[in-house]
Structure 1
Amino acid sequence: MALPLFLKRTLVGLVAAVLLACATPPSPPADRGALPVGVPPPATPWALPDTVASSPALLRGNSRWQPVAWSELPGFENDALFEAWNAWLKSCERPGPMFAPLCPEVRRLSIGTESEQRQWLLARLQPYRVEPLQGGVEAGLLTAYFEPELQGRRLPGAGFSFPLYRVPTGLKARQPWFSRQEIDTQASAQDALRGREIVYLNDPVQAMVLQIQGSGRIRVTEPDGSVRLVRLAYAGHNGHPYQSVGRWLLDQGELRDASWPGIQAWLLRNPQRVNELLWRNPRVVFFKEEALGDLDAAFGPKGAQGVPLTPGRSIAVDPQSIPYGTPVWLASTGPQIALQRLVLAQDTGSAIRGAVRADYFAGWGDAAGELAGRLKQPLQLWVLWPKAQP
């Protein structure tokens, strides 16, 4: 199983330096990597505190946060924190009230060593184990999502006949519009969408996958033959509820493996039933086109926090349990992947509900899609919350 695509350290350093230069004045050379004023380094950087602070448990929406010792966090000594710091810099573009005061220090430490970053975490933050509100340790659930990377054409032809649309004129929030089946079969629906086509794909199933994921990268062939990379970002939907085609296949007894690879295998065996499958999900997502420069291409689409997602370091959460922008320690082991790492809560989704629930942003391309199509395994979460400052 190939792992998700992660950013190379050289790119991380470049992005951090650009953000740092834009956000704060440069420090004198002697200060490079120094801890912020007032943060004493521990005497032994790798000796994690094994005592629990006197902090009380916190209630947050549908979850309870139980204070724990840093030594409870599995793998904390071994994580490549510089990867997570890149995501944290993004969160600092739109920080919540609890983390905004820390962002100048986060920016400064983007050029620090991992040891200095780790020491700062110990000094500034308190870990809390996330539990369901009713108490007890819940066996949480980790899934993954990704950004599809597809070929498209600006004009239909040569098999590229399945359009992705801009938001149609007259679409009203919370009012059902034409369903997927009606868009495919009714002239009135097609008339309403005429002129709203952005690109055409050559596979209707991939078009629906992109709609389910909410965004995608498209290599678009223009009418003059030139090719450019664009992002299609979520702009709205037709007001119908999302229905899982995998769940439908399970209920029909058609499949025992409802992962996307399993669904694709079923489609190969039943090509005459493609529309039957697609129409089981009446929701259609509409998009807006965004330019994708070199720097933008190093990150994913914007999540619900309003900042670009970082592959392998951004998660979608239930915001009733964990606020956007919160650093989270994630631990999950299963047949697909083993994860013990610092991530940032930067997104949500209609299926992401509950205290110990996360959707892991795997990145883009085939390897990320393979992981996202199969990942479903137990999860533990710890939020890292600012300590009260004297």
Structure 2
Amino acid sequence: MLGAKPAWASPCAASRGIRATDRAAVRRFFEDNFTVYQIRNVDRTSRGVLTGYYEPVMRGSRRYDPPYVYPVYGVPRDILFLDSRKLPAGARSEPMMARIEGRTVVPLTALSMSRAKGVYALDLGNSVPDIRDKKLRLRLVGGRIVPYLSRAQIERGRIDAPVLAYVADPAMLYSMQLQGAGKIVLPDGVSVIRLAYAEQNGYAFNPPVASAQSKGRKILVRGVEIALEEGAVTIENKPDTATSDDTPQSPLLRGAQDEAVADEDASPDSALLRGFNLAKGATPAVRPSRVSTPSPAGKTGNAGAAPIDSPRATNPPVAPLATAAPIAYTFAASDPSYVFFRPIPDSAAGPIGALGVPLSPERSAAIDPRTTPLGAPVFVDASEGGSGASITRLLMAQDAGGAIRGAVRADYFFGTGAQAQQKASRMKQPAQMWVLLPKGLRISAKESGVRVRGGPAMPSADCVVSDPDLCVDDTQ
């Protein structure tokens, strides 16, 4: 992508002749082709935060088989998209109508409504557009187009989406959603399902808050310390002797690993559901719909989200319909956002980042694309204080994430598995950042008044370059 940009063409061409092991040549390359700009906050201060993330590895199954009862969903077949930039002023406060073309929702004017067939009432509710594509995620219910299902609705009810796998641990499933990628090791201990981010449900990330029943359990993901709620989980207990790469002893779930099991007769899988109470003798009432069920728009969904065990199959693994009460756990229910995945080959390369290329351990970083352009080299200095290791090095801005917000803000990719997890969970340090941009590239960042979600207009720095592919104009 960068090589096709006029300003980047020359540096990209020059880089092909540089040997990575020739430190002097690498240094000359950057000095000859780039200008360094320090990234500053809105208030012109230079200090921010560097956190860490990783690709989790967990145990799971292609099919529902306790303790593997928590589904990992592909892209829903009934999800619709509306470009928020096509909405007229007052769309959220006045009655609106729309029609559906494939998966696209088209808002209608008063003139077009009188001539159109298949018109539905449009209720945008509290949905927010994704910062990258500016689209809202919606669905058709009866004669109304409404926001897509929230996390609580997805976890406690049915969803029209393929099931890519089932896992035993809701904590690690939530972590995988926040990390944006993950690996699931199947019961044979050899086969692996590798998953990449595919879609989200149209809600902004909102760190879960503790309730009176949360008992202080917390996880640390991408530098965000999250308080977890807990409740009763109705499952059929079945011993699972396999151990996960992300066992309860992980510092990611600190505070939960030392909890004693209240029921001495509880089966071994109790530890996998760390902090959750298990009621024996029933199965959860979770039964995803069949793949062959068409969406309201007549589409059958994303082909990339087909079941792993049978790419040509018409039906995904489906949990049995239970007569018991639904799963009652309220794990992170106050975070309405939800991530859907797609399977990718389990190659030696890392997980796929926001640029669509594999991430490199300890050389890739996630940034806020509303300030820093994707693809740019970023120098990070996090050598002072903090609880993690000092990091002072050049990284590539190849990823983004809902928890990564702010100008001087980066998330350091540590790699895959338990060791990377332990490093990532300790990384939260004060940092300074510099971005390297090709010489001659027009810089567009300026002080301006922009609207911030959930608040009034305030001064903010635009992205340093004007490029819709690499930077986000957050005016929607």
TM-score bin, normalised by smaller chain: 0.5 to 0.7
Does structure 1 residue 284 correspond to structure 2 residue 245?
A: no
Using the TM superposition, give the Cα deviation of residue 388 of structure 1 relative to its aligned residue in structure 2, in angstroms: 4.2
Using the TM superposition, give the Cα deviation of residue 250 of structure 1 relative to its aligned residue in structure 2, in angstroms: 8.9
Q: How many angstroms apart in 1 are the aligned matches of 2:218 and 2:387?
A: 15
Using the TM superposition, give the Cα deviation of residue 170 of structure 1 relative to its aligned residue in structure 2, in angstroms: 0.9
Q: How many angstroms apart in 2 are the aligned matches of 1:290 and 1:234?
A: 10
Q: Equivalent residue for 1:201?
A: 167
Aligned residues of 2:69 and 2:167 also touching (Cα < 8 A): yes
Q: How many angstroms apart in 2 are the aligned matches of 1:159 and 1:285?
A: 22
Aligned residues of 2:218 and 2:256 also touching (Cα < 8 A): no
Q: Equivalent residue for 1:154?
A: 62
Q: How many angstroms apart in 1 are the aligned matches of 2:217 and 2:346?
A: 39
Over residues 195-220 of structure 1, what are the superposed CA-to-partner deviations in whole Å (9 max), with x where a residue is unaligned? Answer: x1111111111111111111112223
Aligned residues of 1:352 and 1:359 also touching (Cα < 8 A): yes
Letter in 2 for 1:324: L
Match of 1:232 among 195, 220, 245: 195
Match of 1:361 among 381, 392, 413: 413
Does structure 1 residue 347 correspond to structure 2 residue 399?
A: yes
Shift in alpha-carbon separation, 1:361–1:112, aligned structure 2, 3 A: closer
Over residues 117-139 of structure 1, what are the superposed CA-to-partner deviations in whole Å (9 max), with x where a residue is unaligned? Answer: 1122222223222223543x322
Does structure 1 residue 249 correspond to structure 2 residue 210?
A: yes
SS at match of 1:278: coil
Over residues 318-367 of structure 1, what are the superposed CA-to-partner deviations in whole Å (9 max), with x where a residue is unaligned? Answer: 22322111111111023211011111111112232222111111111112
Letter in 2 for 1:320: R
Shift in alpha-carbon separation, 1:167–1:124, aligned structure 2, 3 A: closer
Q: How many angstroms apart in 1 are the aligned matches of 2:393 and 2:170?
A: 36
Q: How do residues 282-361 of structure 1 correspond to structure 2 at under 5 angstroms? A: 282-293=336-347, 297-301=348-352, 303-333=353-383, 334-361=386-413
Q: How many angstroms apart in 1 are the aligned matches of 2:211 and 2:48?
A: 23
SS at match of 2:355: coil
Aligned residues of 1:126 and 1:384 also touching (Cα < 8 A): yes
Q: Equivalent residue for 1:211?
A: 177
Does structure 1 residue 114 correspond to structure 2 residue 23?
A: yes
Q: How many angstroms apart in 1 are the aligned matches of 2:428 and 2:211?
A: 16
Shift in alpha-carbon separation, 1:210–1:112, aligned structure 2, 3 A: closer
Shift in alpha-carbon separation, 1:378–1:342, aligned structure 2, 3 A: same
Aligned residues of 2:181 and 2:351 also touching (Cα < 8 A): no
SS at match of 1:116: helix
Using the TM superposition, give the Cα deviation of residue 310 of structure 1 relative to its aligned residue in structure 2, in angstroms: 0.9
Identity fraction in percent: 34
Shift in alpha-carbon separation, 1:100–1:380, aligned structure 2, 3 A: same
Using the TM superposition, give the Cα deviation of residue 183 of structure 1 relative to its aligned residue in structure 2, in angstroms: 3.0
Using the TM superposition, give the Cα deviation of residue 267 of structure 1 relative to its aligned residue in structure 2, in angstroms: 7.2
Does structure 1 residue 271 correspond to structure 2 residue 276?
A: yes
Q: How many angstroms apart in 2 are the aligned matches of 1:268 and 1:340?
A: 34
Q: How many angstroms apart in 2 are the aligned matches of 1:324 and 1:377?
A: 22
Shift in alpha-carbon separation, 1:119–1:147, aligned structure 2, 3 A: same
Match of 1:259 among 220, 238, 241: 220
Q: Equivalent residue for 1:132?
A: 41
Any gaps of 5 or more consecutive residues in structure 1?
Answer: 1-90
Aligned residues of 2:170 and 2:331 also touching (Cα < 8 A): no
Shift in alpha-carbon separation, 1:144–1:134, aligned structure 2, 3 A: same
Q: Equivalent residue for 1:380?
A: 432
Q: Equivalent residue for 2:468?
A: none
Structure with higher helix content: 1
Shift in alpha-carbon separation, 1:138–1:257, aligned structure 2, 3 A: farther
Letter in 2 for 1:215: A
Shift in alpha-carbon separation, 1:346–1:377, aligned structure 2, 3 A: same
Q: Equivalent residue for 2:79?
A: 171
The more displaced of 108-117 and 323-332 is: 108-117
Q: How many angstroms apart in 1 are the aligned matches of 2:53 and 2:26?
A: 28
Aligned residues of 2:194 and 2:344 also touching (Cα < 8 A): yes
Q: How many angstroms apart in 2 are the aligned matches of 1:263 and 1:250?
A: 18
Q: How many angstroms apart in 2 are the aligned matches of 1:107 and 1:251?
A: 58
Q: How many angstroms apart in 1 are the aligned matches of 2:204 and 2:43?
A: 29
Over residues 286-331 of structure 1, what are the superposed CA-to-partner deviations in whole Å (9 max), with x where a residue is unaligned? Answer: 11111123xxx23232x22222211111111122322111111111
Using the TM superposition, give the Cα deviation of residue 153 of structure 1 relative to its aligned residue in structure 2, in angstroms: 1.1
Shift in alpha-carbon separation, 1:250–1:159, aligned structure 2, 3 A: closer
Aligned residues of 2:382 and 2:430 also touching (Cα < 8 A): yes
Letter in 2 for 1:281: D
Over residues 126-176 of structure 1, what are the superposed CA-to-partner deviations in whole Å (9 max), with x where a residue is unaligned? Answer: 3222223543x3221111111111222111214111110111211123223
Any gaps of 5 or more consecutive residues in structure 2?
Answer: 82-135, 139-146, 222-250, 260-274, 279-327, 442-476
Q: How many angstroms apart in 1 are the aligned matches of 2:421 and 2:212?
A: 24
